[in-house]
Structure 1
Amino acid sequence: MTMKIGLGGGCHWCTEGVFQALRGVAQVDQGFLQSEPPADTWAEGVIVTFDPSVISLETLAEVHLRTHSSGRARSPRGKYRSAVYIFEPNQLAEAERAVRRFAEEAAKEVHTQVIPFTGFLPSDERYQNYYRTDPSRPFCRRYIDPKLDFIRREYADIALPSK
């Protein structure tokens, strides 16, 4: 059985690469996510399809919070909304618990919203699997590689081996 969760907060190329590097993640769809007003503008993000018997929603949310600027209150035109988009009402408590625990451990205010998922528009095909198709791109080396190094170091038990 798989579940879905949406995650947004930074460039979806980076977010896609991070979650493709984790065990238990079956698929990562990159694009633009939408929620209910006032979060109904399209924002960059991913939909992660995962096996909760391998990786929990709480762990996915924690990885997300640690790999983007979750403490930043604003983003350009709302394009990088820091959010966990829930697909089912029973995901709310687990996602909120992860955000609250991260804020307490980091001892800082976190601006990540836990909001309902309402819509998805995929990115252009040429941007899909951005990191996997050419990890030597300057953008990948500068922004995605450090996040993957962090995953391999801090989440070695759930990180896939590097290729």
Structure 2
Amino acid sequence: MDKIGFGGSCHWCTEAIFQSLKGTGEVLQGWISVSGEPDLLSEAVIVEFDPAVISLNSLIEIHLHTHSCTSVHSMRDKYRSAVYCFTKEQFASAGTAIQALQKDFSQPIITEVLDFGDFKLNQPQYLNYYYTDTERPFCKNIVDPKLKELMSKFSDKLDSNKLSHLNP
């Protein structure tokens, strides 16, 4: 399994999105810092994935389409739009993928490609937030719409068993 980090919106949302895909293993939710910036932590996830099942490019495409990757706002330090890379090869591939995906968006993508620095795991009661209780108001109002968007655009990449509760 390979691993990559993603940030851009609430880590509860991001965790649920990547947990819902075929080819992903453990999704760790918490805060990531960038190499050289240990004090600047942003909400993010680390995703283990099997590149034989789901490619890094597919993961990046899903990430860009499931958060506000073109929006500059006052909370960007907390919700940094980023791909956190563990290798030089990932760094190069992520940059190329984002450039190629710009055509999907009318505004410039602001998602940064960064070297992973450090990770702080969230508190145990918040891990696997969505799938421990999909009926929470936050899950129904915030996470569900993102997962429905995922279902409409990337149905071939989804673990349909995990999202069966969202089917009409």
TM-score, normalised to structure 2's length? Answer: 0.91
Structure 2 counterpart of 1:53: 52
The alignment status of 1:31 with 2:26, answered yes or no, reads no
Cα offsets for 1:12-52 (capped at 9, x unmatched): 00000000000000110000001034685000000000000
Q: Which runs of 5+ in 2 are unaligned?
A: none
The alignment status of 1:128 with 2:127, answered yes or no, reads yes
Describe the shift of the 1:18–1:77 C-alpha distance in structure 2 as closer, same or farther (beyond 3 A): closer
Partners of 1:76 and 1:66 in 2: CA distance: 19
Partners of 2:73 and 2:96 in 1: CA distance: 22
Structure 1 counterpart of 2:69: 70
SS at the partner of 2:44? strand
Partners of 1:119 and 1:23 in 2: CA distance: 26
Structure 1 counterpart of 2:86: 87
Root mean square deviation, CA, Å: 1.5
Partners of 1:105 and 1:156 in 2: CA distance: 18
**Residue 92 of structure 1: how far off its partner (Å):** 1.5
The alignment status of 1:4 with 2:16, answered yes or no, reads no
Describe the shift of the 1:40–1:101 C-alpha distance in structure 2 as closer, same or farther (beyond 3 A): farther
Partners of 1:74 and 1:116 in 2: CA distance: 23
**Preserved contact between residue 6 and residue 46 of structure 1 (Cα < 8 Å):** yes
Identity over aligned pairs, percent:
43
Moved over 6 A (4+): none
TM-score, normalised to structure 1's length? Answer: 0.94
Structure 1 counterpart of 2:17: 18
Partners of 1:68 and 1:151 in 2: CA distance: 11
Cα offsets for 1:132-159 (capped at 9, x unmatched): 0000011111111111111122111111
Structure (1 or 2) with the greater strand fraction: 2
Amino acid at match of 2:44: G
Structure 2 counterpart of 1:117: 116
Bigger shift: 125-134 or 29-38?
A: 29-38
The alignment status of 1:42 with 2:41, answered yes or no, reads yes
Describe the shift of the 1:14–1:57 C-alpha distance in structure 2 as closer, same or farther (beyond 3 A): same
Cα offsets for 1:94-138 (capped at 9, x unmatched): 211221122222132111000000100000101000000000011
Structure 1 counterpart of 2:99: 100
Bigger shift: 86-95 or 21-30?
A: 86-95
Partners of 2:71 and 2:148 in 1: CA distance: 22
